[in-house]
Amino acid sequence: MRRNSRPDDDRSLPNRANLSQRRQWTERRIEKRIEKRAEQRSEQRQGKRPAQLQTGQPSWFKRLFAQLFAKKPDSKPDPKLTPKLDAKLDAQQLPDASSKLAPIAPQASSRSLSQATPPTNPRSRNRWQRFAIGCWRLFKGLLPLALLLGIGSLVVGAGVISAQFIVQPKSVVWVNRYLPEAWQIPVPDWDAPQTLAEIKADVKGDGYRLGDAISLSGKDVLYPVLDETFNCAAKCDRIVELRVYRPAQHPGRSSREPHYQLVSQITLAGLEEWFVLEPMANLQMVAHGTSTVLGLDHIEKIDGPDGKSGIWLNAIGEKDAGENTVKFGRVVQYDPKRGQLQALVSWTSPTGELPYWQQVTGNSQPELVVNQTVGLEPQLQIYQLSQASQGARLKEISLLKPALKAVDYGEALQLARSGLWSIALERLKDIKKQEPKWSAQAQAQLDLIQRHANLTQAQAKQSSTNPSQQILAQLIDGQWKSAIEVFQAAKDDRESLLENIRLDAGRVWRRVMTAVELDPGNPYAQVWGAILMDDREGRQSTQKWLQRLGRSKTRDRVIAQMVPSLIPAPPKPKKQQIATQPNGTFNNGALNPIDWNNATPPVAPIPDVNQPANADPSPPPF
């Protein structure tokens, strides 16, 4: 075979056939590529397929933001790039099949065709890329700070839980529900949430029973624990304990039956009999009680002073004392924020009136008033509410310690303690006008005295058909002269009036003696003092006491009218004897001269209480 053979030679026929086949295959391949590119162009014009941003594989971060911020499918292609793309495609038309096979241009490859596809919007692509890069940098900058804050929060939370576990271990039991059994926090003496049936069973096992529930703030519930007393006529249940429960979920149970967590509990004992009967025993109306404990049989809610001081309750008991039914009990306060239950004040009321909140002093907050009035003798206990670190506290307004150091102020409080409320009120008002530094405690004592004075004055002004009752009311208020006028107006049966007053002299005696001591110039108080002392200590002691007080014409005149025998009549003076002769004869019709040297001096008469006498400066006996 020759090297340089012509193409049209017979020996080159096989080569010609191969070339024809290769040419046909190449033509078909190019046609397919052109058709495929035409389809891509039509799809691009219809908006079905977005153009690729670049030929290389983008990073995962760029692909993420490209998918997030890619154009919508209905976006139209750029009209500026479409004519250029059509011109390039038209220039790539193949020659006729009869022409010689031209070498395939390198741009006709699939890689060249893909590179020829322009991006949809380069400016938009660059903007979103910069935005994505900025977000990534911001995320990398904030990541350390977020980790630092998270670690700090975990440390602080662990510290708080540790402190709660040290102070009150029961408060961190809720953590155990999120921990495995091996990692749970052991809490000693923890009362796990129980169902109501389990609580009743435990109380019954201790020999008691659970009382009726009382709803408190929110979902908290109060249950009294009762002890049944045998051999009693009525109200045999006695409160021995108070418990507050709160609905809770048991960390180890999935039961839907409601469970209750014990929040607070206190032991609530009764009151001793001597304390219950003390207001009446001080007036000698009943005998002093013993140390027998009287139980509390029921508990009630009372209105509080405001909505911020918690829930107030009253545990109440009763006792029959003569014709009266005395009520007594304890005031209990529950603080929902602290979950704290505490008994604050023990009280007793001979009138059967329950404690109540009322505005008594000038403070913005009401005070708790306990009425211990017995008959005509007013007695109120007033407590002021204060907040301390341990919770609410009730402090009684006392008259034992003067709020001011002035002597007149102390004497006014002494008058109030003896029951002369109106006289003490007048003195305190005069002192307040002259005192520049009038404290809040002094004002509280003044308001307490004024509250009692209003009661005694109202009783004294009431007209009564019983003169002895009216005289007694006026003596309790310190109206000495008015009581004498009522006595003098009752001309009949004065002895019975005095007898009735003497029978009830226990209320008046201390008042009269204090008035005589602190106001010695008042003769009308001395009159009633003499009348009462005559019955208590006798006639002779009373006359000596009047002599020590000094002369008073008004006093003696009134006493002589009321009790004539109390002021003795002045004794008659004895006649002077004339000296005579031993034989009793006259000397020349005249009396013998008196021997003055041997004469006996006349006897001094008994001093009269109406005559001036030296007053004994010593105070009267009390």
Which pLDDT belongs to residue 552?
A: 84
Which pLDDT belongs to residue 355?
A: 94
Q: Parallel, antiparallel, or unpaired for β 293-294 and 271-272?
A: antiparallel
Q: Are 63 and 129 in contact (CB under 8 A)?
A: no
Res 468 pLDDT > 70? yes
Rounded mean pLDDT of the chain?
77
Whole-angstrom Cα distance, residue 4 to residue 2? 6
Which pLDDT belongs to residue 101?
A: 41
Which pLDDT belongs to residue 370?
A: 94
Whole-angstrom Cα distance, residue 223 to residue 13? 118
The pair of structure tokens assigned to 599 is 């004469």
Q: Which CA distances in Å does 191 have to 171, 199, 247, 256, 258? A: 11, 11, 13, 19, 16
Average pLDDT on 78-96 reads: 49
Residues contacting residue 280 through CB under 8 Å, at least 6 positions apart: 286, 321, 322, 324, 326, 350, 374
Average pLDDT on 469-481 reads: 90
Residue 542's pLDDT band, with cuts at 50, 70 and 90, is confident
CA angle at residue 150 from 144 to 155, to 5 degrees?
125
Chain mean position to CA 382: 18
Res 404 pLDDT > 50? yes
For tokens 């020659």, what's the residue?
Answer: 95
Average pLDDT on 328-336 reads: 93
Instruction: Give residue-wise pLDDT tens across range 112-153.
Output: 444 444 555 555 557 788 888 888 888 888 888 899 999 999
Q: Which residue has the higher pLDDT, 545 or 10?
A: 545
The pair of structure tokens assigned to 484 is 């004498």
Q: Which residue has the higher pLDDT, 210 or 591?
A: 210
DSSP 437: -
296-397 has CATH 1.20.120 classification: no
Average pLDDT on 349-357 reads: 92
Which pLDDT belongs to residue 442?
A: 92
Instruction: Give residue-wise pLDDT tens across range 512-529.
Output: 999 999 988 889 999 999
Which pLDDT belongs to residue 587?
A: 42
CA angle at residue 558 from 555 to 564, to 5 degrees?
115
Which of 447, 478, 451, 455 is closest to 376 using CA atoms? 455
Q: Are 321 and 380 in contact (CB under 8 A)?
A: no
Residues contacting residue 215 through CB under 8 Å, at least 6 positions apart: 221, 222
Average pLDDT on 261-269 reads: 90
153-162, 457-466, 608-617: range with highest mean pLDDT: 153-162
Q: Which residue has the higher pLDDT, 596 or 195?
A: 195
- Domain spans of the chain? 19-120, 296-397, 422-566
Average pLDDT on 348-375 reads: 90
What angle, 0 to 180 degrees and rounded to 10, lies between the N-to-C axes of helices 539-549 and 523-537?
A: 150
The pair of structure tokens assigned to 333 is 């306060």
Chain mean position to CA 591: 103
Average pLDDT on 402-420 reads: 92
Average pLDDT on 500-514 reads: 83
Which pLDDT belongs to residue 233?
A: 61
Whole-angstrom Cα distance, residue 194 to residue 210? 14
Which pLDDT belongs to residue 103?
A: 46
Question: For the whole model, what pTM was predicted?
Answer: 0.62
CA angle at residue 263 from 261 to 269, to 5 degrees?
120
Q: Is 127 helix (H, G, I), strand (E, B) or coil?
A: helix
Whole-angstrom Cα distance, residue 172 to residue 369? 41
